[in-house]
Amino acid sequence: MVTLQKVHGSENSFFLLDETQLTQPLTKTQLATLTQRLTNRHTGLLGGADGVLAITDAPGTAGKMTVVNTDGSFAKLCGNGLRTVARYLSEKTGQTSFRVHTDFADLAVAKQPALAVGVPAYSAEISPVSFAPQALPFANLGTDRIVDTVLPAIHPHLKFTAVAVPNPHLVAFVSKEELAGPDLEQIGKRLNGKNPYFPEGVNVTFAEILGQDTLFARTYERGVGFTNACGTGMSATTLAFILTHPNQAALDRVNTVYNPGGMVKTIVHRDDGRYWIELIGNATVTATITLPEAALVDVNLQQAVIKSTGEQAAYERFVAALPHRALADTLTEGV
Ligand SMILES: N[C@H](CCC[C@H](N)C(=O)O)C(=O)O
């Protein structure tokens, strides 16, 4: 038998699969097929999700995280997901501060004080960071560095910042009206379809500046579409905030980033000239799903036995007490 977890960070939800339970790891094709079925709002379980987080052994770290989007594409990183993987591996190994392996870096994670009763929290290192066109990649935009830059091919007046953390992000600071308007979806769909600018797609975030060190972020995700939160998106947005609004944000200072699913804290660090972002937020497990290994491999979900953990009620109490819920509630996606 195999047990998966339904998890979320800021209501950015995933199925977490520890593949070390399996007699042999899934192939990339099997993982992509499983993800497309399991996360589908109609054919999946528990109303679907925003992706699958697969854990495998990795020498020298507590484990490796692989991120699969709902469309079956693989992502270079997932910030909200990394916090839930950190919790899973912490509870599996008893460690509270360790590294998780990804194809691009071994990332530091740590258990943090709970955000509220019944709302466990973890921090996750978001890195490596690069502004280089080759890192996103982007092309045909008339520049090789996009920081606070108008890109007329994409929008007539918004100023964008493009950064890989290491998955690709395009960020713009907008008004409350723009945040809820049609442009984010239009740009997100266009740059994640066949286009000459971001050939591998890009996560697009619109953020409203609420005050010093305080943002509200909404993301149209590469390979997924709108989600309630995007951890790497909120991390990239905080870095862009510091670079483009230096009188309202600063390195090594705690930022609060609200999103339709809740809230995270971010701190941008710069060590030896290299940026990395510390992402702190909830790691909630809402259910466990148990089924025979053969059924999992064949994506035969009828035999799945689902058990609720009861944690979601505590998370909803925490979120209900947050400011900016009125704005969030107009933007929340089905979990
Ligand atoms: N869709 C993203 C991966 C998931 C990132 C997001 N869920 C996060 O929390 O960072 C991509 O393909 O780059």
Residues 155 and 228 in one domain: yes
Domain that holds residue 225: 149-281
Q: Which of 281, 301, 322 is the last residue of a domain?
A: 281
- Domain count along the chain: 2
- The pair of three-digit structure tokens given for residue 44, joined into one six-digit string: 């999946």
**Could you tell me the CATH number of the domain that includes residue 307?**
3.10.310.10
Output the CA torsion 71→74→75→78 (10° steps).
80
Lowest mean pLDDT among 68-82, 199-213, 318-332: 318-332
The chain-wide mean pLDDT, for the chain, equals 97
Note whether residue 240 is domain-resident. yes
Annotated binding site for substrate: 12, 69, 79-80, 167, 203, 221-222, 231-232
| Domain-embedded: residue 275 | yes
Determine, yes or no, domain membership for 56.
Answer: yes
CA distances 164 to 148, 179, 303, Å, are 15, 22, 40
Q: Is residue 116 part of a domain?
A: no
The ipTM value here is: 0.91
Q: How many CA atoms lie within 13 A of 94 on its CB side?
A: 0
Q: Is residue 159 part of a domain?
A: yes
Q: What is the pTM of this model?
A: 0.97
Last residue of a domain, one of 281, 298, 315: 281
Residue of 77, 228, 264 best suited for mutating to test ligand 1, as the one with most atoms within 8 Å of CB: 77
Q: What is the pLDDT of residues 168-200, one digit of tens each?
A: 999 999 999 999 999 999 999 999 999 999 999
Q: Helix 79-93 to helix 231-244 angle, to the nearest 10 degrees?
A: 120
Q: Do 189 and 275 sit in the same domain of this protein?
A: yes
Q: Which residues line ligand 1 (CB under 6 A)?
A: 12, 50, 67, 69, 75, 78-81, 167, 203, 221-224, 230-233
| Cis amide leading into 166 (omega within 30) | yes
Which is the closest atom of ligand 1 to the Cα of 233? Answer: 10
* Digit-coded pLDDT (tens) for 106-134: 999 999 999 999 999 999 999 999 999 99
Best probe residue, ligand 1, of 100, 224, 238 (max atoms within 8 Å of C-beta): 224
Given a contact cutoff of 8 angstroms between Cβ atoms, the answer to whether 12 and 228 are in contact is: yes
pLDDT, average across residues 227-244: 98
- Among 54, 56, 57, residue whose Cα is nearest residue 39: 54
